[in-house]
Structure 1
Amino acid sequence: MNDCGISKLDLKRRNRMQILRVVREQGPISRVDISTALQITRAAVTIITNEMISQHILEEIGEEPVEPGAAVKKGRRKILLDINATYRFALGVYVDEKEISVGLTTLNLETMDKKVIIHGGNLTAEYAAGVIASTAKTMLQNSCLTSKNLIGIGIGVMPAVWQQLGGETTEDGVLQFPLFQRLLTDRCNTTIYLGSAVTQFAMAGVQHQARNHVISNRQLFLHWGDNHFYAIPMQGAEPLHDICSSRYYVENMIVVPDGREAEGYPRGSVRAELSLSAIQKDVSAVFSEAQTPALYQLTDGDLTQVTLASLLTASEEDVALIPVTEQIMAKFSLLLNNLRCAYFSDSICLHGFGFTQRNLEQVQTYLREYTEDTFADTVSLSPIQERYRFLCGCIYAVQEGFFRRGGLS
């Protein structure tokens, strides 16, 4: 007889995955509420969660609190469960053309140690693997941990250094680093989760929302870097595709019908209208210490240092920048709206633009002017700050090595 269907191990892993997902998104939560959320019997939930408690993956944190003024319920209050954040630990790494950022966190991403290594652009797979392995070893020793305490090492590589680290894309559009992966596996004695840092930042935005109980079923992650826009649609916590196959899709979008030209792109494209060179060309007509003192100071008088973030900041003081800023932001607002419609997104997360919270408020103001009011409130900034870029790798390791496995080794 042929074997078919799902194995008992796969079924067990899937049930545990679902329970961990609910606890992450809604926790602390009771067994009864887990049963209701997943439409699994209470008995099944009790069996699974008790096993996970005995394995120290979940923990009971006490009774459900009584809301002030609420009617007193008869019987025993619900016992709440939460993920044991120190069941395992994650090492995360971020690699770009200037630095390697390494950090050690708990499962709920509390930072225990971090370090930035400046490499000066002389990056090879051999060098990067050596730095990561030695730094990881030191961090574990400092925290009295070993590789057995890790769920793995998550590593995010920025597109600018893919080639230096031997990155290659398969026919299916999957990014791989064969040599780098092998070197890391040989030296680190733990599981290595290696991929695009941009995709990992997209996952980080979703995980951050989940921890704050703000659930978006379809989110679009828009990254600015290496003078390119990268768009990654997310279905829950999973990217619908990596940036390998969609790098130039955003830049081919039209934001000004029959607008300016850029070689290899349609007229009025994002590349022609919203690239750094296009923005700087628009600003050049008024850029001077006399007319735009705030922007001049922000950029040290260097037009090539003008960005969308610096333009928004300076426009609140430099009157001469207002017409230029309005024109550029009208196009940027149209881009965001086009992306929302193209990907059927519930929300958009912005990353790499250098925006402050005040800049986000300015973007939302323009969105209310050029699109519908409710759309503006669905646009947010990525939670990963510059000093904590390694968190992209930590989140990737936690997702792949813990949640996707249902906590199973």
Structure 2
Amino acid sequence: MNDCGISKLDLKRRNRMQILKVVREQGPISRVDISAILGITRAAVTIITNEMIDQHILEEVGEEPVNPSGEVRKGRRKILLDINETYKFAVGIYVDEKEVSIGLTTLNAAALDKQLIAHEGDMTPEKLVSLLDDILEKMLQNSCLSRENLLGIGVGIMPSAYEMMGLEEGTETCPVFPALQKALEDSLHLPIYINSAVMEFAMAGLHYNEIHAKAENQVFLYWDSGSYHAIPISGNSPLLAAAAGDAFIERLCVDPDGRAMEGYPRGSVRAELSAEAVADKIRPVFSEENTPALFAALNGDLSRLTPASLLTAAETDQPLQEIAAETVKKFCVMLQALHCLYAAEHVNLYGFGFTPEHLELIRKTAEEFAGEAFAQSILLCPIGDRYHFLSGCTYIIQAGFYQRGGLV
């Protein structure tokens, strides 16, 4: 007997995964329309969706609404299906060098409970497990849930906390934490998914709190330790090959007549937009007398400079205004390059500390040389500081539910 090829379980998971994907992006949607989109027979779709309804993964949410201006159809209107967002619940954990963020959400990543815990840079896997034991039980009690209701736990570790949390192998964009994985599994007896928190923020996408979010290309751009990093996203999945070499962004040219730097093209992002490069331009005018707003914000230490602190200070510090304007222009050139390279529908900014006012300034500058459509494609990451745990929740929902066809 030949055992090669796809197994029945794999085929079942694949079909269910495709159906969940369509419902997630198009729903509420009828069985007939699912069949037309996927090219699967109506009978097969009916069998699969009925099974998923019996398992409470999908639910019927009523008939297709009547279109007053459309053609009158004969017969019964289509019955629409949608994902039951309370089929399972997700726990997300975010860890960096200063804090731990823990939260509980529905499958729609709607937060039910959350807690933020500060630490002194000494959060070990053992301490996290002990902390989680108490917090998780209280969160479940508050929402009248038990561990059987949980899909699993998604854990995101920031690169700054890799050593603290026992990184033993892997890479920055594909880390492996054996000690943490084992400690959580042994204590909680739940599926555990651990990844880079940065990668999880990227996977969370732009519409993490919308039930029906269309898959799209985007670039997740984040600021860390004075440098830029970019993770291109195709649909809901990172382009891992590109993400693994995310230092490519430092080599992009934003000013052909700009500064030279060994190992980089003239006018590169590294030479023009890194914190060190911008600080070099500010240093000649930086003082408590000349730039009081920036001096106060940084406590006199230019090594603490961020893009947001520069833009805020430039509102009142006249010597900074020209530097800030040039920096924003080059920043927008970088964004447009990423936008074009990956045919991105959005460029999602994270970790810059930008306010909505900063975003409007960036968009206005971008519109001047690249048009309104590009300017409006620039967005701030919607996951705020108090909701960092949502990155872990979104990761477990994507990897442990959708990619498994709901077979938890």
| Superposed pair shares fold, TM > 0.5 | yes
**Greater displacement, 313-322 / 12-21:** 313-322
**Greater displacement, 340-349 / 219-228:** 340-349
Q: Which residue of 2 aligns with 1:279?
A: 278
1:146-192 Cα distance to aligned partner (Å, 9 max, x none): 22211100000000011221214438973211111111111111010
Q: Which residue of 2 aligns with 1:150?
A: 150
Q: 1:131 to 1:12 in 2, by over 3 A?
A: same
Counterpart Cα distance in 1 of 2:389 and 2:39: 37
Counterpart Cα distance in 1 of 2:283 and 2:389: 36
Q: 1:19 to 1:277 in 2, by over 3 A?
A: same
Q: Which residue of 1 aligns with 2:247?
A: 248
| 1:4-403 equivalent positions in 2, closer than 5 A | 4-170=4-170, 174-206=174-206, 208=208, 211=211, 213-216=213-216, 218-241=217-240, 245-257=244-256, 259-260=258-259, 265=264, 267-287=266-286, 292=291, 295=294, 303-403=302-402
| Identical-residue share of aligned pairs (%) | 53
Counterpart Cα distance in 1 of 2:253 and 2:169: 28
Q: 1:73 to 1:293 in 2, by over 3 A?
A: farther
Q: How many equivalent residue pairs?
A: 408
**Greater displacement, 329-338 / 296-305:** 296-305
AA paired with 1:260? R
- For residue 248 of structure 1, give the secondary structure of its aligned residue in structure 2: helix
Q: Is the 8 A contact 2:108 2:208 kept in 1?
A: no
Q: Is the 8 A contact 2:113 2:139 kept in 1?
A: yes
TM-score (norm 1): 0.91
**Greater displacement, 137-146 / 357-366:** 137-146
Q: Displacement, 1:344?
A: 4.0
The alignment's C-alpha RMSD in Å is 2.6
Q: 1:124 to 1:213 in 2, by over 3 A?
A: closer
**Greater displacement, 316-325 / 39-48:** 316-325
1:26-53 Cα distance to aligned partner (Å, 9 max, x none): 1111112212221222221111111100
Counterpart Cα distance in 2 of 1:172 and 1:289: 39
Q: 1:39 to 1:210 in 2, by over 3 A?
A: farther
Q: 1:195 to 1:269 in 2, by over 3 A?
A: same
Counterpart Cα distance in 2 of 1:16 and 1:106: 20
AA paired with 2:77? R
Q: 1:336 to 1:83 in 2, by over 3 A?
A: same
AA paired with 2:29? I
Q: 1:117 to 1:172 in 2, by over 3 A?
A: closer
Q: Is the 8 A contact 1:200 1:393 kept in 2?
A: yes
Counterpart Cα distance in 1 of 2:101 and 2:48: 37
**Greater displacement, 57-66 / 11-20:** 57-66
Q: Which runs of 5+ in 2 are unaligned?
A: none
Q: Displacement, 1:289?
A: 5.9
Q: 1:143 to 1:374 in 2, by over 3 A?
A: closer
1:48-92 Cα distance to aligned partner (Å, 9 max, x none): 111100110011111222345445433222211111111110000
AA paired with 2:158? M
Q: Displacement, 1:137?
A: 2.7
AA paired with 2:149? N
AA paired with 1:136? L
Q: Is the 8 A contact 2:108 2:209 kept in 1?
A: no
**Greater displacement, 201-210 / 15-24:** 201-210
Q: Displacement, 1:270?
A: 2.0
Counterpart Cα distance in 2 of 1:186 and 1:90: 18
Q: Displacement, 1:397?
A: 0.6
1:256-293 Cα distance to aligned partner (Å, 9 max, x none): 34643557655533223212232233234444566556
Q: Is the 8 A contact 1:201 1:392 kept in 2?
A: yes
